Structure 1
Amino acid sequence: MALLIAVTLTAWRSFDTWIGNTNLPLTLAETSTEVLDRNGKLLRAYPVGDGLWRLAVKPADVDPRFLDMLLRYEDKRFRSHAGVDPIALLRAAGQALWNTRAVSGGSTLTMQVARLLEDGTTGRWAGKLRQMRVALALERRLSKEDILTLYLTHAPYGGAAEGVRAAAYSWFGKEPGRLTPAEAALLVALPQSPERRRPDRFPEAASQARDRVLARMQRQGVLSAEDAEAARHTPLPHRMAAFPRLAPHLADRAKARHPGRRQLRLTLDGAIQARMERLAADAVRRGGDRLSAALIAADHQTGEVLALVGSPGYSDAGRRGFVDMTQAIRSPGSTLKPLIYGLAFDQGLAHPETLIHDGPADFAGYAPQNFDGSFRGDIRVREALQLSLNIPVVKLTQELGPARVMAALRAGGARPQLPGGAPGLAVSLGGVGLSLQDLVQLYAGLAAGGQGPRLRVMQGAALQPADRLISPEAAWQVGSILRGLPVPPGARAGAIAYKTGTSYGHRDAWAVGWDGRHAIGVWIGRADGTPVPGIFGGSLAAPVLFEAFGRLKPALEPLPPPPPSALIVSSAELPLPLRRFRPRQAAFAAGGDAPQLIFPPDGARLALEGASLTLKLRGGTAPFLVLANGRPVLAGQRRREFSLPSPGPGFSSLVVVDGAGRSDRIDLRID
């Protein structure tokens, strides 16, 4: 007896030493880099080095019913054995002897993990013995939860899917947190023979394997007869689904900037991102195979980007979908005009009701033209911005100085680029390079009262304010003007402050705007920069902008009220220097013989009762053009006293333009 005990103890110590000296395989396998949205939803995943999809997972991430079914089917004594289940081994050996073939396996879940980690064989005795040794060693060094995690991470499920999360996405297009009985049973059965039971290639074998799992779960009381029967009649997936690939351009950038991080959480909202990507694809569908689009939606109070669409299709080679057009440097067209006017308001150069002359002008050899080639004469600054006239904004830029405009762009968080040399007056008409992200950053600053936060895309990044663009009063005045622009058919007027732009040569169409909480920017054009005949920001990009706000949220949020110090008066009530824009040097220049409306006087109230309206002029050079409420009513007039039909009851504005492009304006009321 003593000898037997001594031999047993010696054998046990040797066995224990043998197990303790086991060289374990690596248990920290590479898992896919995951890019998540603000709610933890998977936006994009990247395969690991060997081309497999292997997503990190823990038992708490998986449907509890699946775990119950897995353990009952594969290893019902998993929680109690030490890595090897002698009862299961004896049962498997007895069945093999009785049937002269292997009927069931005796491998525990831990032994399967050992095989998966070493990529070992299952049938050979040497391989089985090695699995037992590694399983016993794993049980000594890891907890049951750790071992279960390894199985859930490494189990093969067919194709390139490894692990239960990759399998749930590949076969069902969802996370494994909520699985139906049919889905759970298929995922229990697949790892035993992942290629021969693939439901897309061998549906009959997959169905039989799934049904065996369901039958056993019904016998063990895990599933009711009704649930098991319904699961058996559930169709199998007929193909492997693609992994999510939302916001691919931003995901690529985030991965490149944070190498080694396995999980990157962005500020994007996955549901909003998906809707915006569909919108961009719809917007270019009828515009030819080369037309592209980009869109950014951001919260201008927090700076968080909620959606970023770099192209209509990441894999669309014809549209160069791989190019992230939110970062491409392009001409912004007229979209910088609101900033110019805001700077002018702050500098005391103008007010929304200030009169400014729109006529032929030459700035040391630079003679810009309006888009339609015509001139409006004297016009309110408000109307000049709403009509996107070029001459008035260039006049303001000359007074501000292009360097001041460039400094404001940088202060607002943009990164302007010039073709070369010092900035010129053409900056205000799009003669500077900006990206869509730059424009949304600038408009977010306008929307936030002249100073907003810098845009951010990484969840948890600190809120950083940009420098102040303009004062709160000027920002509100700009917004008040832009909310008065005509809107696309069917859109709600006055709810969004926005501006459109078209770059030189019809290469880029822009629309950028904001409501009380969010700012959105849209770009449409070709990624290679070639012209698109007939492209206009107003007709092409503006409808997409308004549709984007509709897809962002169910209801628009109101624009803010004016600051208490905002000057809200008519043109006649303005301080004298603000009633009409005059360049600073004009005070020292000799006066010209400009036309002057001497009757009726400005601010007159007339009772015409249907009679014609008599006008009297002084100065100017014939012929004269007369506009009533912005519309030409009399042209080629050479006399200085004449009549024209009454504009109708109510308030009206009359503008007379002489042959040299000089003008005068009056406002009157007709009863």
Structure 2
Amino acid sequence: MRLPVWVIGVHAAILAMAASLLVLDRLTPPDMGRGTEMSVVVTDSGGRALRVFPVEDGRWRLAADIDRIDPAFIDALIEVEDQRFYDHDGVDPLAVIRAAFTSARAGRIVSGASTLTMQTARLLEPRPRNLGSKIVESWRALQLERRLTKDEILELYLSLTPYGGNLEGIRAASWAYFGREPERLTADQIALLIALPQSPEVRRPDLRPAQARTSRAAILDRLAEAGLLSPDRAAEAAGEPLPSRADFPAEAWHAAEEARRRAPGVTEIRTSLDGGLQAELEALARAEAEEAGSDVQIAILVVETGSRAVRAAIGSAGRGRQGGWIDLTDRARSPGSTLKPFIYALAFDDGFAAAGTRMADVPRAFNAYQPENFDRSFRGDVTVAEALQHSLNVPAVLALDAVGARRFAASLDFAGAHGRIADSGEDDAGLAIALGGVGLTVREVAVLYAALGDGGAARPLSWLEDRSDIDADAPAQTLMTPETAEEIVSILRRAPHPGGRMPAELSRGAPRIAFKTGTSWGFRDAWAAGTGDGFTVVVWVGRPDGTPRPGVTGREGALPILFDVFDRARRYAPETDTGWGRAETPDDHSPPAPLRRFGDTLPPEIVFPPDGSEVWANEEGRPLVLAGRGTGRLDWFVDGAPADRNGAGDPVWLPPQRGFYTIAAVDDAGRTATARVRIRTAADGPAR
């Protein structure tokens, strides 16, 4: 049977229209630009937000994830905004007919027919609100439905929805008003988040609380009518107080910036940082900098030695201080004597020296270069171990002269510490490297000391939890042999500890740290670097503009902070072996538990300060750390008054003046040990 001509014409017209629409769809795709420009959220290793970066014009626009949004909110949103969302293809004909009928009967526009998909199209390409724009939005909605799933459309809508001011998207609103992700929301919060986008500036709870409260109540009534809430619950939620707007997370300022640089194009970046440790060390840096002076800055880096994961990074003591916006962990400064352990390590590996090798610490000239010790005195015949522990300059330069300054600089560069050295063309001039004549960053010094604590194997630091910022399969670079690393660590562990600190060997549970200090020429930089208990820590203290701080050395200005950092870091290390900074067991060479003690437990014993001792008070006003042995927790008293405890929980005491004091330690059984000590100060004359 032959079809009539008009039927064929209709079919041809339909096919031509369909083909035209397909061509038009291909030629004019929707602009998804705004949907791809999202704020970057940087979190710690546990997923807690540390810092959020805004997009253009300072807008907070966080990518929504429907799996991380309260399902009750999704149900309420669809009930209020688009009940047939999962049934239509972008445009809802029934909604159009209903809107036209009700508006015609009322003589004015009563309700719109925009679907969530049409609203998403409008958010992607904002246009004036008129009939022509509505037609374009309808076409764009059909295009979006062809390209995206329903969940993807919802996520796009919930990423771009305006919530007033510079807030866009449900996550930004939830952070600003509730201080957290929208994974769990109360009824009043759900209603507010639905009401706000309908008139974002008019209903802002922080600026127009009356309008916000009224619109929230209207949404609650709507949800109660739909059966999503009971009337009583809706009434109760309507009486809840409105939230105020809070700031977005802005912790780990410099570390978050580094993480974003290492993960370009990623909007959710999980770092290797421990948020608790990071916050605690930021507070420590602020307190220490305040005490040191208004123009002093502090940089701290804590690295898990085994994995090289950065667990805390303090780029400055505060952005409100001079130079505070600069990440001082990434600025090259003279490292002073912190490189001496690596000079001796090279000499050990070359067979030039060993820990017991004796060297002459006497005045000596190396062509035009004539080093001298910090205190301008010489010790004569010393061992390499003594020279390193007391940071003697002449022996270090003598060792560097033997191994070669250029070769030493090349070994540092090979390990990942790319020193900035002036090209003098003279190998003799390069001998100043031994005393800090090279520029290194805190990060590079951390690479070297982490290698020292890891058997001499140098590897790059990792800032991301998934380690995607480094080549994890790349072989480590050998900075020194494991035997040499062990020997250098052993020497540095026996170096003189800072005032008020007992060596780890004499205090049970104390961190076993191999550490070295450094002071640059002219007292411009104070350094302390150490490795132990599964961590590597580097501390830098100084003025960001490089001006001197006369008399402030690494031992005085940075070493006490280093020990404080180790104390805090150990509290964040899990007890099990997860590779997260496992602490060394002080009883590695102890007999089995049943043989450790014979008979009854012993009464407490005061290790520091011992009975009858004379102790010089710290000139910088730092308290003494009291140490003892006993059963269970020891309670400490000085002249009958309870002793304070520091951030690590250790008993501390700051002598108010010179004189005699009685220190007592009491164990769980009530047994007491006492020590009578004399505190001396500079007023008593020089120490002997």
Interval containing the TM-score (normalised by the shorter chain):
0.7 to 0.9
**Equivalents in 2 of 1:409, 1:286: separation in Å?**
34
TM-score by length of 1: 0.74
Q: Which residue in 2 is equivalent to 1:151?
A: 157
Moved more, 550-559 or 174-183: 550-559
The residue identity in structure 2 corresponding to 1:306 is R
Any conservation in 2 of the 1:85–1:106 contact (CA below 8 Å)? Answer: yes
Distance 1:545 1:275, change over 3 A: same
**Equivalents in 2 of 1:215, 1:448: separation in Å?**
64
Q: Does 1:181 align with 2:191?
A: no
**Equivalents in 1 of 2:58, 2:211: separation in Å?**
26
Q: Does 1:478 align with 2:495?
A: no
Q: Does 1:120 align with 2:127?
A: yes
Q: Does 1:433 align with 2:439?
A: yes
Q: Which residue in 2 is equivalent to 1:294?
A: 299
Q: Does 1:351 align with 2:354?
A: yes
The residue identity in structure 1 corresponding to 2:443 is Q
Q: Which residue in 1 is equivalent to 2:317?
A: 312
Q: Does 1:172 align with 2:178?
A: yes
Distance 1:7 1:253, change over 3 A: same
Q: Which residue in 1 is equivalent to 2:413?
A: 410
Distance 1:18 1:210, change over 3 A: farther
Structure-to-structure mapping, 1:651-666, within 5 angstroms: none
**Equivalents in 1 of 2:351, 2:88: separation in Å?**
84
Structure-to-structure mapping, 1:274-423, within 5 angstroms: 274-313=279-318, 315-316=319-320, 318-421=321-424, 422=427, 423=429
Q: Between the two proteins, what is the percent identity of the paired residues?
A: 43
Q: State the Cα deviation string for residues 129-150 of structure 1 (Å, max 9, x = none).
A: 4434443454345332232122
Deviation at residue 486 of structure 1 after TM alignment: 1.0
Secondary structure at 1:285's aligned position in 2?
helix
**Equivalents in 1 of 2:524, 2:191: separation in Å?**
55
Q: State the Cα deviation string for residues 431-482 of structure 1 (Å, max 9, x = none).
A: 2221111110110110001113222335323223442222212211211122
**Equivalents in 1 of 2:282, 2:81: separation in Å?**
43
Any conservation in 2 of the 1:44–1:248 contact (CA below 8 Å)? Answer: yes
- Give the structure with higher Rg (CA): 1
Any conservation in 1 of the 2:39–2:61 contact (CA below 8 Å)? Answer: no
Q: Which residue in 1 is equivalent to 2:652?
A: none
Any conservation in 2 of the 1:296–1:308 contact (CA below 8 Å)? Answer: yes
State the aligned residue count. 559
Q: Does 1:542 align with 2:559?
A: yes
Q: Does 1:514 align with 2:524?
A: no
**Equivalents in 2 of 1:331, 1:394: separation in Å?**
16
Secondary structure at 1:293's aligned position in 2?
strand
Any conservation in 1 of the 2:39–2:60 contact (CA below 8 Å)? Answer: no
Structure-to-structure mapping, 1:254-269, within 5 angstroms: 255=260, 266-269=271-274
Q: Which residue in 2 is equivalent to 1:613?
A: none
Q: Does 1:462 align with 2:471?
A: yes
Any conservation in 1 of the 2:397–2:431 contact (CA below 8 Å)? Answer: yes
Q: Which residue in 2 is equivalent to 1:210?
A: 216
Distance 1:448 1:159, change over 3 A: same
The residue identity in structure 1 corresponding to 2:517 is T
Moved more, 386-395 or 146-155: 386-395
Distance 1:330 1:210, change over 3 A: same
Distance 1:356 1:528, change over 3 A: same
**Equivalents in 2 of 1:27, 1:92: separation in Å?**
29
Q: Does 1:552 align with 2:569?
A: yes
Q: State the Cα deviation string for residues 149-175 of structure 1 (Å, max 9, x = none).
A: 221122111112222223223333333
Any conservation in 2 of the 1:200–1:238 contact (CA below 8 Å)? Answer: yes
What RMSD, in angstroms, separates the aligned Cα atoms of the two structures? 3.6
Q: State the Cα deviation string for residues 161-194 of structure 1 (Å, max 9, x = none).
A: 2222232233333333333333332221111111
Any conservation in 1 of the 2:533–2:570 contact (CA below 8 Å)? Answer: no
Distance 1:231 1:504, change over 3 A: farther
Moved more, 182-191 or 261-270: 261-270
**Equivalents in 1 of 2:15, 2:205: separation in Å?**
48
**Equivalents in 2 of 1:367, 1:46: separation in Å?**
52
Q: State the Cα deviation string for residues 224-245 of structure 1 (Å, max 9, x = none).
A: 5675455444433322523x34
Any conservation in 2 of the 1:486–1:493 contact (CA below 8 Å)? Answer: no
Any conservation in 2 of the 1:82–1:136 contact (CA below 8 Å)? Answer: yes
Unaligned runs of 5+ in 2: 506-511, 574-580, 590-688
Alignment match of 1:424 (pick from 430, 435, 446) = 430
Distance 1:391 1:10, change over 3 A: closer
Secondary structure at 2:343's aligned position in 1?
helix
**Equivalents in 2 of 1:428, 1:229: separation in Å?**
75
Any conservation in 2 of the 1:360–1:375 contact (CA below 8 Å)? Answer: yes
Q: Which residue in 1 is equivalent to 2:76?
A: 69
**Equivalents in 2 of 1:419, 1:69: separation in Å?**
67
Secondary structure at 2:558's aligned position in 1?
helix
The residue identity in structure 2 corresponding to 1:335 is T
**Equivalents in 2 of 1:256, 1:380: separation in Å?**
46
TM-score by length of 2: 0.72
Secondary structure at 1:281's aligned position in 2?
helix
Deviation at residue 520 of structure 1 after TM alignment: 1.4
Secondary structure at 2:154's aligned position in 1?
helix
Any conservation in 2 of the 1:300–1:452 contact (CA below 8 Å)? Answer: no
The residue identity in structure 1 corresponding to 2:477 is D
Q: State the Cα deviation string for residues 331-372 of structure 1 (Å, max 9, x = none).
A: 111111222232333333433344444344444454322222
Alignment match of 1:238 (pick from 230, 244, 247) = 244
Distance 1:504 1:79, change over 3 A: same
Any conservation in 1 of the 2:301–2:314 contact (CA below 8 Å)? Answer: yes
Deviation at residue 85 of structure 1 after TM alignment: 3.6
Q: Which residue in 1 is equivalent to 2:228?
A: 222
Deviation at residue 521 of structure 1 after TM alignment: 0.9
